[in-house]
Amino acid sequence: MTSTIERIAPFKNEVIKTFSDPADAEKMKAALAAVRARFGEHYPLVIDGQKVETEKKIRSLNPANPDDVVGLTSSASKEQANAAVEAAARAFESWKRTTPQERANYLFKAAEMMRTRRFDYDALLVLEVGKSWPEADGDIAEAIDFLEFYAREALRYAEPHPVVPMEGEQNEMVYIPLGVGAVIPPWNFAGAIMVGMTAAAIVTGNTVVLKPSSDSAIIAAWFVDLLHEIGVPKGVVNFIPGSGSVIGDLIVSHPQVRFISFTGSKEVGLHINELAAKPQPGQKWIKRVVAEMGGKDSIVVAADADIDAAVEGVAVSAFGFQGQKCSACSRAIVDEKIYDEFLDKLKARVAKITVGDPSDQKTYMGPVVNEGALKSIGEYIEIGKKEGRLIAGGKRVGEKGYFLEPTVIADVAPDARISQEEIFGPVLAVIKAKNFDHAMEIANNTEFGLTGSLYTTDDKKIERAKEDFFVGNLYFNRKSTGAFVGAHPFGGFNMSGTDSKAGGRDYLLLFMQAKTMSRKL
């Protein structure tokens, strides 16, 4: 008998648009105009399927022009956050009884709906968080991939699981949902990570309280509306943007919340982990925390590397989306034999990067996300000037918008602050290594362990790195960013998180628990 999963086409990644096709470019321009026409719209909370307006609002601003209010979301109070958790708990009682096939079908429908509105979602990311056109489309393509991949994974987990036969007994093992989850996504992959975290939770039978970043709440509001449009029952996903200081700790520690799925900074992730570990009155379980946190990612360039390829990989990894990726290259560790040549070529490559409004198709690097980020990154640049030699960038661009030049600081010591602390912006430290052994030692000298790359033509170095380069996602002779769902399950070691491996075959296990049943014959 053919299983359900066998009757569905194999998973295939969405192709990311380059916008070289004039038809795509025209559709994107039209979508940008359409999103601009909606600037200033209000988006209410959604609790138990009901839209709730509040007096307090969160303003989502265009980082390229902060005078533009992309939209306003209602800001949840403690009482509303409690109501959202209670609504999710009620909805769980029926949602957990829906079949995996039903839940997977909702994800397939959501994926198809996002495809039809792809340019609109792309345009919103350009205007809400400052992504370039290809970066925005990559984000939305990944969101669609998560929906498609997790739907198939849910069906796979619903198939019978092998157990060792025992005479005189009928035995089986099934996976069941956990309960109510707090989903707390970041602003930097405001489409992909928000959609992926939410989809993984609901397709496995859980219900969700979704608290998006205040910098990217509008795209989350769009997605919640889309889920209700395709018929996801009320209470399954509750939308409660709000201040972390007001409702963040409340939803994490709430006794009815069974798990927390978080992507963000190390500091917040550790706080969530600590808070979740303390049981509250009425709590019946040990809470599960799925955390993807920071990175201080290195690209190692060995003496035998193709220098031009390494320069390109470093530049793209360091300055794509303004370096605002947890996987971004923030350290280039270069063998001293090729160090000077590498620096010369890197400086020339960085000089070609265009900085400007990302709504312009020609722009490669847009603004950083907000004024706080602009200030923090600027402070790190000043620290870096004292810790190394500034060879490119270092200044703000213009007076309106949160623009910075792509910045490269050379001759940085392995233990310098800009070598160790996550900056989350367009700042690259270049470190000189005595040899490959020294380079590997430097690569592992931070508290993080998310991504890394090695450029080399020597297979022995690759084998050594496979053993000793301690990161969750390791690449050879390619950039350190750009993990694809299914191909590169994503998650890191150490202070980079719980190695959750989003987009991998193990990910949905984090949202389920196994139940074994035996019947005497």
Condensed to tens digits (0 to 9), the pLDDT of residues 136-151 reads 999 999 999 999 999 9
By percentage, how much of the chain surpasses pLDDT 90?
98
Condensed to tens digits (0 to 9), the pLDDT of residues 378-413 reads 999 999 999 999 999 999 999 899 999 999 999 999
d(CA 75, CA 88): 18
Residues 6+ apart with CB under 8 A from 301: 307, 310, 314, 332, 333, 334, 335, 338, 342, 455
Q: Does residue 4 register a pLDDT over 60?
A: no
Annotate 86-129 with DSSP letters as a single string.
Answer: HHHHHHHHHHTTS-HHHHHHHHHHHHHHHHHTHHHHHHHHHHHH
**Known active-site residue 292:** yes
d(CA 96, CA 181): 13
Q: Does residue 43 register a pLDDT over 90?
A: yes
d(CA 269, CA 254): 17
List the structure tokens of 317. Answer: 């990894």
* Alpha helices, DSSP H, located in 230-370: 249-253, 266-276, 307-319, 339-350
How far from 333 is each of 134, 206, 307, 374, 405, CA to CA, in Å?
28, 43, 13, 26, 21
Reference 369, options 402, 343, 394; nearest CA is 402
| Mean pLDDT confidence for 330-356 | 98
Contact (Cβ atoms closer than 8 angstroms) between residue 313 and residue 520: no
Antiparallel, parallel or unpaired: β 493-494 and 448-449:
antiparallel
Contact (Cβ atoms closer than 8 angstroms) between residue 241 and residue 75: yes
Q: Does residue 157 register a pLDDT over 80?
A: yes
List the structure tokens of 24. Answer: 């795509």
The whole-number pLDDT of residue 7 equals 76
Helix (H, G, I), strand (E, B) or coil at 246: helix
The per-residue pLDDT of the chain, averaged, comes to: 97
The whole-number pLDDT of residue 2 equals 43
**Known active-site residue 329:** no
d(CA 284, CA 431): 50
List the structure tokens of 234. Answer: 């009320």
| Mean pLDDT confidence for 36-42 | 98
Torsions phi, psi for 503 (to 5 deg)? 75, 20
| Mean pLDDT confidence for 212-240 | 98
List the structure tokens of 348. Answer: 């020339």
Catalytic site residue from 326, 329, 387, 405 = 326
d(CA 445, CA 430): 15
Instruction: Identify the architecture of domain 22-293+499-520 in CATH.
Output: 3-Layer(aba) Sandwich (3.40)
| Mean pLDDT confidence for 270-278 | 97
pLDDT band at 6 (very low <50, low <70, confident <90, very high): low
Domains of the chain by residue range: 22-293+499-520, 297-484
Condensed to tens digits (0 to 9), the pLDDT of residues 298-339 reads 999 999 999 999 999 999 999 999 999 999 999 999 999 999
Q: Does residue 1 register a pLDDT over 90?
A: no
pLDDT band at 5 (very low <50, low <70, confident <90, very high): low
Class of the domain covering 297-484: alpha beta
Catalytic site residue from 292, 387, 405, 422 = 292
Annotate 24-39 with DSSP letters as a single string.
Answer: HHHHHHHHHHHHHHTT
The reply to whether domains 22-293+499-520 and 297-484 share a CATH topology is no
Instruction: Please indicate whether residue 3 or residue 41 has the higher confidence score (pLDDT).
Output: 41
Annotate 384-419 with DSSP letters as a single string.
Answer: HHHHSEEEE--SEE-SSS-EE--EEEES--TTSHHH
Contact (Cβ atoms closer than 8 angstroms) between residue 107 and residue 151: yes
Condensed to tens digits (0 to 9), the pLDDT of residues 69-128 reads 999 999 999 999 999 999 999 999 999 999 999 999 999 999 999 999 999 999 999 999
d(CA 50, CA 238): 9
Contact (Cβ atoms closer than 8 angstroms) between residue 237 and residue 202: yes
Q: Does residue 442 register a pLDDT over 50?
A: yes
